Structure 1
């Protein structure tokens, strides 16, 4: 079973526009609202691909009620801890002409200490049935610095490997606490480490004890960095679409393989890159195209050469 934790969930609101013009009024068809936050997206993708999952998160206020209702309708197994503060919202505006997406993420409100204790308790209760723990997404402002080390350390003590997808100081906390896999993007890696070179930045996380860094390069694909090797996977021609949730699909791929006992970095890189690309083809986060196997066959995988196009993310 894949156990996911989303410390800062969101009600994801998505509108598709013919063209987004700053400063102008836009009209759109009815948007979509679904339970989101990175960990919930990971669970949604893995569940849709037949994996056993359990998603642990929080829900509060009117947005939390809507999040809980949509999550229940989705069929994704979950446990939601009630909190007093309203669940945040994330707004995605998809420009269909340009093929890109503008995102506004509310920061979220920090749960109380008692609410955090309840969430940690839900994770601890579920760990005996887990093959891998995924901690994914941002932390709300003011979240205790002990949260990630506690979750990761508890999982490691139970013999459960941890995949973490977070940013800022939390990325370093996850590395120091013993996460097996980290999945930053290029900007998050620089922000956390202060190192401009992507391989050097990833290796700095390896030096802290991480086994594998999956580094998203946007249109340029993905790197798998270990202590001894760097592999690069990409499509010859980048896809256009909605990149929201592409990184979550990559984490879901890694989690599914880890739950099956697969540890080979290139195998994980291929699947993660293919699922990430397949997510770009879908209108909403938490979904991947059925064409992911064909995309995996089209991947170019080789030792990394640091040459970037101007449109790299």
Structure 2
């Protein structure tokens, strides 16, 4: 089972419009609402792939109840930590070319509520093959919140994948996450370096054991102590990029659970990410496109590698 922790979940609302333009009115042609947050998206993708996954997340208020109801309706295994504040919402406005996001900050967690989230995570770790930590930290969470969760996972000898940015990412690196997954902009923001390979090496020196960097239409770059690997789709994919990074994390976690190397993980992650862009909602993917791309992609090794690929 792959365990995902989403400290700042949301009810994701998606509006579909023919063409989005700021400063004007729009006629919405489609509305969807589902449980969201990056870790929930990861678990949703894994479940669709037939891989057992369980979500741990704090939920509160009427919006939290709506999230809980949708998780159950979707058949997503979850363990909710009750909190006093109302769970946040996000709104994605999607047209044929891209998506525009509006993200609420989320409710503040009291210290006891954060401790309860840690305790709930620890309760499920003995059954976990991989621990995935995803998304923003909510108001009230400690600055080293992800470091605490990484340490918890590593204490159970469970590989830990961290998908966070900014201070939350930097504070977690000394705890030595197995893999971190920033995008190109997050890499530059964390290191001040414009080159993704140089920036990834900096994160390794600061404590990450490996880095999987999202480079948008240029695919993915993986860097660890043994070398670097690249994989990209054959052509740019247009649609809703929301959730593409979460699908890459799902592929990474699935690969880690099976001790796969980058040569297997990268094509799977690129194919799954691209197939997610083709679907209007995060946490879902175009199954035909995924399988077609998966069989056409290979990873290019850019540096010396260990026999295992790691």
Query: Do they superpose with TM above 0.5?
Result: yes
Deviation at 1:279, TM superposition (A): 0.7
SS in 2 for 1:91: strand
Instruction: Give TM-score, length-normalised by structure 1.
Output: 0.93
SS in 2 for 1:126: helix
Deviation at 1:227, TM superposition (A): 2.2
The 1-side partners of 2:209 and 2:144 are apart by 22
Partner of 2:273: 276
Q: Is the 8 A contact 2:143 2:167 kept in 1?
A: no
Partner of 2:292: 294
Q: Which runs of 5+ in 2 are unaligned?
A: 303-310
Deviation at 1:247, TM superposition (A): 0.3
Deviation at 1:174, TM superposition (A): 2.3
Deviation at 1:138, TM superposition (A): 0.7
SS in 1 for 2:295: helix
SS in 2 for 1:252: helix
The 2-side partners of 1:30 and 1:228 are apart by 47
Q: Deviations over 1:68-108 (max 9, x none)?
A: 11111010100111111111111101122xx1111111111
Partner of 1:3: 3
Q: Residues 1-313 of structure 1: matches in 2 within 5 Å?
A: 1-96=1-96, 99-262=97-260, 264-291=261-288, 292-299=290-297, 301-303=299-301
SS in 1 for 2:283: coil
The 1-side partners of 2:4 and 2:160 are apart by 10
Kindly report the root-mean-square deviation, in angstroms, between the aligned alpha carbons of the 2 structures: 1.5
The 2-side partners of 1:209 and 1:124 are apart by 22
The 1-side partners of 2:159 and 2:186 are apart by 22
Q: Deviations over 1:186-232 (max 9, x none)?
A: 11111112222111110011112322211001111111111232221
Partner of 2:307: none
Q: Which runs of 5+ in 1 are unaligned?
A: 305-313
SS in 1 for 2:177: coil
The 1-side partners of 2:229 and 2:23 are apart by 42
Q: Is the 8 A contact 2:263 2:298 kept in 1?
A: no
Aligned residue pairs total: 302
SS in 2 for 1:298: coil
Instruction: Give TM-score, length-normalised by structure 2.
Output: 0.94
